[in-house]
Every structure is written in C-alpha cells, then in structure tokens.
C-alpha cells in the first residue's frame, strides 16, 4: 500500500464513516416508510379485491380500484348534458332547468360566505393582537388565545355546522356561524403572523410618548398590517364561498343541499350544472378580489 | 411669519391633509352605507335575531357543558372502533397524499416554465391543475363512493385527486424557483435534458418538494376528518353518527382526539421538515 499523508488517510476514514451512517439512515427511513405505506394501504383497503361479473357472465376477482374505474367513467359520462348545436339554447335551458332556485341558493351561498368572512375577520382581528408574541399583554393570555384559535380551526367547518344545526336549527344561520368560527381560527393565525412581522419601532415610539396598549396597537401596528389583512381576507372569502357551497350537506343552507339531493335522486346532469355554477362563481370572485387587492395595495403604496 | 400664514401655506401645499374632498367623502359614505345595508339585509334574511342567537347559545352552552367530564370509552371494543376511525383518517391522508404526489411529480414538469418550452402545453397543464383543485374533496368523495363503494378507499382517491391539483402546482413552482447556474454548468459539459433535470434541478427542488408533501399530509389529516360524514371512511363517520344520536359527551371526546391527532402529525411533520430542509421557513395554516 502506498503511503499517503495522514490527512488523506483521515479523509478516507471520515468519508467511509459518512457513507456508512448515510446508508444506515437511508435503510431505516426506507424501512419505516415501507411500514407506514403497507399499514396505511392495509387500513385504507387499497389492495382489496372485489368480485366482478364480466360481460360473458363469468365472475372473477379483481383489484377494487381497477374494477371501479369503468363505473367512475360511466358516472362522470352521465353527468354530461346532451347538447346539440342546432338546439343549443333549448338544451342549455334544459340543463339549467332549475336555474331560478339555483340562483337564489347561489346568492344565499355567497351571502353566507360574506357574513361568515365578516364574522371571521372581526373575531380574528380582535384576537390576533393578544395572540401575537410581540403584543400579548402576558404569556397566559397569549397561550389562551392561541389555543382557542388552534382548536376552532382544527375542527372542520362541517363539524361545527353539524353542532350548530343542532343548536340554531336548520338553515343559513348555522352555516354562517360554523364557517365564521372556523375562519376566525384560520385568519387569526395569519393576522397574528402579520403582527409579529410588523416593525416594532413605531410601537416603541408611541409607548415612549405615553400611549396605552390600545394606542400602541391602533397607531403602531394596525396601519402596518392592514394591506396584509385585506389580502388574507379576500383569499379567505373565496375559500368560504367553496365551504358554504357544501355546508348544505348537513342542512346549514346554500347550494350544498341541492348537490346532495341531485346525488341521491341521481339527477346526473344537475350535478354538472351545479358544478359549473360554483366553478364560474369562484373564478369570478377570484378575479374581482385580485382587482380589489391590487387597488388597495396600490392606494396604500405597500407590497404584500 | 405668523401661524395663520404658515397654515395657509401648508394648506396650499397639501390640501388633502386639511380637508377631504367632497367626492372622496361621498364615495366613502356610499361604501359604508352599502356595507351596512348588505350586512343588515343578510342578518335579516338569515333570521339573525337576539332571541334566536340567545336560544342557540344557551343550547350550545349546554352542549359544551357535556365536555366535562370528558367521556372515556370503557371497553376495548369501543376503543378499537374509535382508534380504527382515527387510523383510517391518518391512513387515508397518508395514502392520498402519497398517490397524489406520485402522479403530480411528473405532471409538475409540464407546468414548470424552465422545463416546458411550449407555453400552450404548460398553460393547459396549469389550467388542468386548477380545475382539479376547484372540485371540493367532499364532492369527489361522494363521486368515488358511487364507483368504489363506501369506505376509506373512496376517501383515499378523493384526497389523491385533489392533491394532484395542489401538489402539481406547488411542485412546478418549486422547480421554477431553482437556480439556473447548475443547469448551465451541466449543459456546458455536454449533458442531455434528462441528465440536467436529474443532476441540476432535482437536487435543488427535492427538499422543497418533500417539505410541501409533509405540509399537505398534515392538512389532509385535518380535512380528511370530514370525509367520513358522507361515508368515505375515517373518524368523521363516527363523529357524525354520535352527533346525530345526540351523544354529545362522546362527540366531544372524538373531537378532542381529532385535535390531539392533528397536533401529533403537526409535530411529526415539523420535525421531519426541519431534518430535511434545515429550517421551517414556510408558514401557512
């Protein structure tokens, strides 16, 4: 063996050790991943088999997903409306035959989202200050508000809706409160992060000139975070429109009820019509909120 | 110069600081009254009334009071039902995110500006991702229940399909955000397209991609809890069942367990993310 300098020998040793530890980490990770994968697949019934009757009457055992795919295609195909070029107007009118009811429900869906966003914004705005590390009056209040926000956003809207439908009765009131409560948690976190990223120098200036905690927040923090708040709020409004379009599944108002009814009565083309309505609405809201956001950010001269 | 003339000079210099123009004031007034009217109309239309709110809150208060003392399942049979539901939810989120990621990974290259030179293909791929994202997970779950029957398999596929939309978009952004320098280096030393992707793009994009996957796994655990309400497996079914039977103490215990599970997954994915990319630099809900 040729004699190398001790530094090279040391390097070779270190390299071999690093390779060995990398191999060990990779083996363990692969093993853990495989365990997770197979247990998840087993619990989720991913590899389940099912019996299928073939076209020639023969019964065979088939992978469940493979067996379900043709049915899925069939289902999606049924939702497509029959449109002919020469009778296009009449066909579309036929497709959207319940448009009066749907339009009313669409307006209700948007209004639920609007009121819920308003509720969420007010709640989140008030709670975001005690929930920011740099502004909370003391650690107890900080932790209390943070836990509250975490809990209301971890429980999904639909679960809140189930609870509120019991408390407030069937209808949009329960939906508004459910989405509003969930939005409080989601927005509260984003707002408090905006507060934490704000420049603390204005706050210190106000404190030094004798401003109270409210003065510090009103004049030190709020002007800095308003553009962020508006942009998060507009994004949330769009999310809330989607949420309020399905909240009707549990009886809390909006278009969801119609989707559920269309599914259980197998009114396939209604489903695609409802989907088109929701899709177009969300796109429109997205476009309008983008415009509003740019305008407001342009006015205050601040980037988000 | 006395104070009046100083004031007048300032008035001329910045008139807006002394008096808001009538037009702006009217616009603001119109804006605020539209806001108040719309909100008032909504409140009226939805039947918000102090009496109804009070009655509902009293009911909610009594429902909340069932949280204490929390319901604890006594027998293993009951526990196994609850744990199976939680396990299904986590497994659905895991498999759904994984399948979504496997499909999204190749698709992401179609949507990345620095990989895909044909803009028509790139833009149509992007619109495709948007369309997949636009369908609510719960609607997808209802569709998949028709095709694959009740149970977690429908939930897995619902999560997977909506994840394809989300992950493809985020992955292609991760690919777009890579530095071009290693690519130039590899091209200069004569490597082909695939080699460039393998040795210049992927080493930069993979940590971000892994971290995105972990974030989505966590958010799918949250959103997957409701898929059971419509019958697509998981803890949501048990929760909806308890609520519709007015078994509130049990319902609150299930909600508490859901929160605990999400916390655990959150902690675990945070730990893994720190190991993979060194630090937690992305914030979202």
pLDDT higher than 60, residue B284:
no
Closest residue, chain B, to A119 (C-alpha): B39
Q: How far is CA B164 from CA A55, A106, B12, B137, in A?
A: 33, 28, 60, 12
Burial category of A199 from C-beta neighbours within 10 Å (exposed 0-12, middle 13-18, buried 19 and up): exposed
Please report the pLDDT score of residue A3 as a whole number. Answer: 63
Please report the pLDDT score of residue A152 as a whole number. Answer: 92
Residues with Cβ within 8 Å of B63's Cβ and at least 6 positions away in sequence, in order, are A163, A166, A167, B248
pLDDT tens, position by position, B11-44: 888 877 777 788 888 998 999 999 999 999 988 8
3-class secondary structure, A62:
strand
Put simply, the answer to whether B88 touches A242 (Cβ < 8 Å) is no
Q: What is the largest CA-CA distance in chain A?
A: 91
Q: What is the C-alpha to C-alpha distance for residues B78 and B216, in angstroms, rounded to an integer?
A: 30
Please report the pLDDT score of residue A176 as a whole number. Answer: 94
Distance from CA of A44 to the nearest CA of B (A): 5
What residues in A contact B236, CB-CB < 8 Å? 159
Mark out the alpha helices in B149-201 (DSSP H runs): 152-176, 181-188, 193-196
pLDDT tens, position by position, B259-279: 999 989 988 888 888 887 765
* pLDDT tens over chain A, length 304 residues: 566 688 888 899 999 999 999 999 899 989 999 999 999 988 888 888 777 777 777 787 888 888 888 888 888 888 887 777 787 777 887 788 888 888 889 999 999 999 999 999 999 999 999 999 888 888 999 999 999 999 999 888 999 999 999 999 888 999 999 999 999 999 999 999 999 888 889 999 999 999 888 899 999 899 889 888 888 898 899 889 989 988 988 888 888 888 888 888 888 888 888 888 888 888 888 888 888 878 776 655 444 3
Token pair recorded at residue A234: 């507009």
Which ipTM value was assigned to this complex? Answer: 0.82
Q: Is A164 at the interface with chain B, CB within 8 A?
A: yes
Cβ-count burial A112-127 (b if 16+ within 10 Å, e if not): bbbbbbbbbbebbbeb
What residues in B contact A48, CB-CB < 8 Å? 153
Which region, left, alpha or beta, applies to residue A61 given φ > 0 means left and ψ of -120 to 50 means alpha?
Answer: beta
Please report the pLDDT score of residue A251 as a whole number. Answer: 85
Please report the pLDDT score of residue A304 as a whole number. Answer: 39
Selected residue with higher pLDDT from B225 and B277:
B225
DSSP A221: I
Note whether A67 and A52 are within 8 A (CB). yes
User: Taking the CA of residue B244 as centre, how many other CA atoms within 13 Å lie in the half-sphere pointing to its CB?
Assistant: 9
Closest residue, chain A, to B136 (C-alpha): A242
Distance from CA of B53 to the nearest CA of A (A): 7
Distance from CA of A137 to the nearest CA of B (A): 24
Please report the pLDDT score of residue A2 as a whole number. Answer: 60
Interface with B, mutate which of A34, A45, A110 (most B CBs under 10 A): A45
Please report the pLDDT score of residue A303 as a whole number. Answer: 42
Mean pLDDT throughout B256-260? 91
A–B interface: beta-carbon pairs under 8 A: 154
Please report the pLDDT score of residue B1 as a whole number. Answer: 54
What residues in B contact A163, CB-CB < 8 Å? 60, 63, 243, 251
Burial category of A211 from C-beta neighbours within 10 Å (exposed 0-12, middle 13-18, buried 19 and up): middle
Residues with Cβ within 8 Å of B161's Cβ and at least 6 positions away in sequence, in order, are B100, B132, B135, B140
Please report the pLDDT score of residue B2 as a whole number. Answer: 64
Note whether B108 and B206 are within 8 A (CB). no
Token pair recorded at residue B123: 């833009």
Range from A58-62, B133-137, B191-195 that averages highest in pLDDT: B191-195
Please report the pLDDT score of residue A1 as a whole number. Answer: 53
Token pair recorded at residue B166: 């989300």
Q: Please tell me which of the candidates B88, B149, B283 has its beta carbon nearest to residue A44.
A: B88
Please report the pLDDT score of residue A91 as a whole number. Answer: 80
Distance from CA of A37 to the nearest CA of B (A): 7
pLDDT higher than 50, residue B162:
yes
Residues with Cβ within 8 Å of A46's Cβ and at least 6 positions away in sequence, in order, are A40, A65, B95, B153, B156
Please report the pLDDT score of residue B285 as a whole number. Answer: 38
> What's the mean per-residue pLDDT of chain B?
87
3-class secondary structure, A52:
strand
């Amino acid at each position: 063996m040729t004699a190398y300098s001790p530094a090279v020998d040391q390097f070779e040793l270190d390299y071999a050790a690093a390779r060995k530890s990398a191999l060990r980490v990779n083996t363990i990770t692969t093993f853990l991943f495989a365990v997770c994968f197979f247990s998840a697949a087993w619990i989720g019934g991913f590899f389940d088999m099912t019996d299928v009757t073939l076209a020639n009457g023969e019964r065979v055992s088939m992978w469940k997903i493979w067996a379900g795919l043709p049915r899925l295609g069939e289902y999606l195909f049924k939702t497509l409306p029959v449109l002919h070029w020469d009778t296009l107007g009449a066909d579309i009118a036929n497709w959207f035959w319940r448009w009066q009811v749907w339009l009313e429900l669409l307006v209700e869906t948007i209004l639920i989202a609007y009121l819920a966003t308003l509720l969420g914004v007010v709640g989140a705005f008030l709670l975001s200050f005690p929930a920011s590390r740099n502004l909370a009056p003391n650690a107890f209040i900080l932790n209390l508000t943070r836990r509250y926000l975490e809990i209301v956003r971890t429980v999904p809207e639909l679960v809140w809706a189930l609870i509120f439908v019991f408390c407030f009765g069937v209808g949009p009131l329960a939906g508004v409160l459910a989405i509003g409560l969930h939005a409080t948690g989601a927005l509260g976190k984003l707002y408090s992060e905006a507060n934490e990223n704000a420049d603390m120098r204005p706050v210190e200036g106000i404190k030094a000139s004798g401003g109270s905690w409210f003065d510090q927040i009103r004049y030190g923090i709020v002007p800095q975070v308003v553009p962020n708040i508006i942009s998060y709020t507009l994004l949330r409004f769009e999310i809330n429109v989607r949420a309020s379009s399905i909240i009707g599944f549990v009886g809390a108002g909006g278009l969801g009820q119609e989707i559920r009814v269309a599914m259980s009565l197998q009114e396939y083309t209604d489903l695609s019509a409802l989907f088109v309505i929701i899709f177009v609405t969300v796109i429109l809201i997205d476009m309008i909120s983008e415009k509003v956001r740019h305008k407001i950010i342009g006015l205050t001269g601040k980037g988000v | 110069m006395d104070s009046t003339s100083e004031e007048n000079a300032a008035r001329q210099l910045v008139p807006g600081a002394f008096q808001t123009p009538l037009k702006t004031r009217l616009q603001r007034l119109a804006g605020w009254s539209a806001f108040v009217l719309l909100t008032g109309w909504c409140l009226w239309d939805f039947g918000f009334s102090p009496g109804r709110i009070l009655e509902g809150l009293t009911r909610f208060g009594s429902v909340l009071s069932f949280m204490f003392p929390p319901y604890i399942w006594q027998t293993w049979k009951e526990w196994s039902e609850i744990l199976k539901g939680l396990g299904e939810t986590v497994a659905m989120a895991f498999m759904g995110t994984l399948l979504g990621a496997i499909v999204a990974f190749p698709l992401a290259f179609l949507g990345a500006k620095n990989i895909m030179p044909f803009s028509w293909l790139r833009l149509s791929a992007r619109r495709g991702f948007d369309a997949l994202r636009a369908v609510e997970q719960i609607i997808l779950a209802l569709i998949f229940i028709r095709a694959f029957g009740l149970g977690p398999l429908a939930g897995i596929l619902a999560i997977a399909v909506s994840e394809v939309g989300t992950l493809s978009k985020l992955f292609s952004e991760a690919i777009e955000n890579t530095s071009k320098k290693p690519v130039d280096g590899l091209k200069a030393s004569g490597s082909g397209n695939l080699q460039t992707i393998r040795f210049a793009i992927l080493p930069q994009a993979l940590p971000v991609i892994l971290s995105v996957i972990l974030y989505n796994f966590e958010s799918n655990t949250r959103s997957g809890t409701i898929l059971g309400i419509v019958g697509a497996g998981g803890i949501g079914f048990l929760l909806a069942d308890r609520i519709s039977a007015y078994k509130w103490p049990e319902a609150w215990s299930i909600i508490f367990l859901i929160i605990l599970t999400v916390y655990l997954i959150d902690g675990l994915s945070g730990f893994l993310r720190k190991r993979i990319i060194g630090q937690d630099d992305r914030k979202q809900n």
